[in-house]
Structure 1
Amino acid sequence: MAYVPPHKRRSQEGKGCSEGSNTPFVSNDRTPRKENYSRFAYNSTAQLPPVFEKIALYYCINLSERQVKWRAFQERAMRVHNEFAGLVKRFDAVNGKAVLSENRCNEEILKRVWDASMNAKYSSKAQPGTKTMSDGEVGCALSHVELWKILTSTESSSENPVMMALEDDAVFSSVAGRSRFADVLAQAMENVPSGWGILYLGFSGRGERHYVEVPHNQKRNKSKYTVEIYRPEYGYHTHAYLITRHAAQILLDNLPVQGPIDVWLADNHWFDIPVYSAVIANEGWKREDGTFEGAVLVSQERGRGRKSDVQQSSHMKAG
């Protein structure tokens, strides 16, 4: 299915999607309507919900020369809650350009040459064939690998501690200028099946979605919005996710990374790790059948023609 940028998705609401039969699988009981959620948005002056205590580590990846982006991220985190902003530690991102120029790229950790054939089946912008990772893709992948190493080596009272991994362009869900991230995160963690390994808070899914049926006794949501959980077939982005120690260890055991980090994960079906994505129902891009794709809990700072800082090798010609 062709990728539709978020700003175009918003402009297409009510017009439907032109993809026709290629629209992803959706449950039949999802109501195609929108709600006014502003009065249910999270109040940052209230106490931070207990769900945040279930997460042992919080990190945001940021290059040392991009302090402006780090300060902007901190401001967005403060809108969630001042305690949340204090929990998130800055991780000094790996500079891919420096690693390559100094010949410090260990092929046991990362191999730059990769095959984009699978990626091209899910993205109209990707071209099949052999590609070479860009400097930015190298730095991004190595940064996430370092976070996984931190998680697996961290002492914790929990047998399987959880880390929240963020990138510095992460934007937390809000309504009418007030954050609701704490509430939707609590719902997501309540509804995700036990034994999960990775839970995407921001994700661009491709292919079929297999929604999780939430037991009736778990539906104690006082808010008007509902967070749904699905297992993805394929997809992109690593700007916001939760990962357990067990899952991180599996990824480290399957190094080297070969290709952009998000594509490497999806191409390998996440190495059979139980992976889920959370979305806010009845929001986001409206499909042709009248249902909504669902809004992510954490989006990316985009708009006004702003693109990702990372050059995407999948869009380059093979060779």
Structure 2
Amino acid sequence: GRGSPQSIMDLGADDDDHEQSFDTVYINLTKRTDRRKLIQTEMRNQGLRGRRFSARNGDDVKDSIVAREWHSKLNCLYDKKTLPCLHKMSKGERGCSGSHAALWKQVAKRDDASRPMLILEDDAVLWEKSGVNFTEMTRRMIASVEQMYDVEKEPLMLYVGCEVVQWRDPRRVTIEGPPVIKLREAEYLWQTSSYIIWPAAARELLSHLPIDSPTDCFISKLVLEGRITAIVGSPAIAEQR
């Protein structure tokens, strides 16, 4: 289904959403009730409040939002097991990218430029470490990023789970624990199952539409070009199932 405001469903009380200081949305196809139950269980177990976003169908996504082909020449520089060639974007890839783009539009339009959104895919697994749940660790990372960067002006994304292929900066910022969490800028990374985005980054991503590769490769290209700053928390507190 289309990702309209009517397709967003509450999980938990609105008051708790505000107390989180960040919004949470998970992407889920209407027919995948199995995944919906799994991600809702993950969120409840971690004290995380959020809403469902009805994932887009690849056939419904406009070409102006997501292209139908992509070339892997850049990604092959990091994935040595593949050769550069032209690929067709599958319906699943187009639907996934279209869903993320629709959420970026929601973030970009918000009045509060300092309020981020945590975007989850419905196959994300959320962890707790040292007795501290996912939600609290996410709060700590967001607070640290907001101290280090001007989140209202700089296009920032914070990954709480991803595969980093290449780091950009050897410097790390340490968040005292337990658990101890380190933040570091990445140069190229894969996966979009669990990331936090601020309005400035959402606007920057939208300015480069159409998405002309799988979502993670599209973002990484802009990170590599210095248009987006990708900050990664380590150890990861989420992964794809």
TM-score by length of 2: 0.82
Report the 3-state secondary structure (helix = DSSP H, G, I; strand = E; otherwise coil) of the residue aligned with 2:34: helix
Distance (Å, rounded) in 2 between the aligned partners of 1:279 and 1:112: 34
> Which residue of structure 1 lines up, in the alignment, with residue 86 of structure 2?
130
* 243 and 115 in structure 1: CA distance in 2 versus 1, 3 angstrom threshold: same
- Does 2:92 align with 1:92? no
By how many angstroms is 1:51 displaced? Answer: 9.9
> Which residue of structure 2 lines up, in the alignment, with residue 230 of structure 1?
184
Check the 8 A contact 1:173/1:179 in 2, yes or no. no
Q: Which amino acid aligns with 1:69?
A: R
> Which residue of structure 2 lines up, in the alignment, with residue 24 of structure 1?
none
Check the 8 A contact 2:70/2:86 in 1, yes or no. yes
Q: Which amino acid aligns with 2:228?
A: I
- Bigger RCO (CA 8 Å, 6+ sep): 1
Report the 3-state secondary structure (helix = DSSP H, G, I; strand = E; otherwise coil) of the residue aligned with 1:257: coil
> Which residue of structure 2 lines up, in the alignment, with residue 142 of structure 1?
98
- Does 2:142 align with 1:189? yes
Deviations 1:31-64 (A, max 9, x none): xxxxxxxxxxxxxxxxxx9996321x21100000
Report the 3-state secondary structure (helix = DSSP H, G, I; strand = E; otherwise coil) of the residue aligned with 1:233: strand
> Which residue of structure 2 lines up, in the alignment, with residue 277 of structure 1?
232
- Structure 1 unaligned segments of length 5 or more: list them: 1-48, 281-295, 302-319
* 52 and 122 in structure 1: CA distance in 2 versus 1, 3 angstrom threshold: farther
> Which residue of structure 1 lines up, in the alignment, with residue 173 of structure 2?
214
Report the 3-state secondary structure (helix = DSSP H, G, I; strand = E; otherwise coil) of the residue aligned with 1:147: helix
> Which residue of structure 2 lines up, in the alignment, with residue 251 of structure 1?
205
Matches within 5 A, 1:46-85: 53-55=20-22, 57-81=23-47, 84=48
* Bigger-Rg structure (1/2): 1
Q: How many residues align?
A: 220
Paired residue for 1:120, among 47, 71, 76? 76
Deviations 1:109-153 (A, max 9, x none): 121211101111111343311111111111100000000111122
* 168 and 131 in structure 1: CA distance in 2 versus 1, 3 angstrom threshold: same
Check the 8 A contact 1:201/1:241 in 2, yes or no. yes
- Structure 2 unaligned segments of length 5 or more: list them: 1-15
Q: Which amino acid aligns with 1:114?
A: W
More strand, by proportion: 2
Q: Which amino acid aligns with 2:136?
A: D
Q: Which amino acid aligns with 1:185?
A: T
Check the 8 A contact 1:172/1:179 in 2, yes or no. no
Q: Which amino acid aligns with 1:229?
A: L
Report the 3-state secondary structure (helix = DSSP H, G, I; strand = E; otherwise coil) of the residue aligned with 1:111: coil
TM-score by length of 1: 0.63
Distance (Å, rounded) in 1 between the aligned partners of 2:167 and 2:195: 20
Q: Which amino acid aligns with 1:201?
A: V
* 257 and 50 in structure 1: CA distance in 2 versus 1, 3 angstrom threshold: closer
- Does 2:182 align with 1:242? no
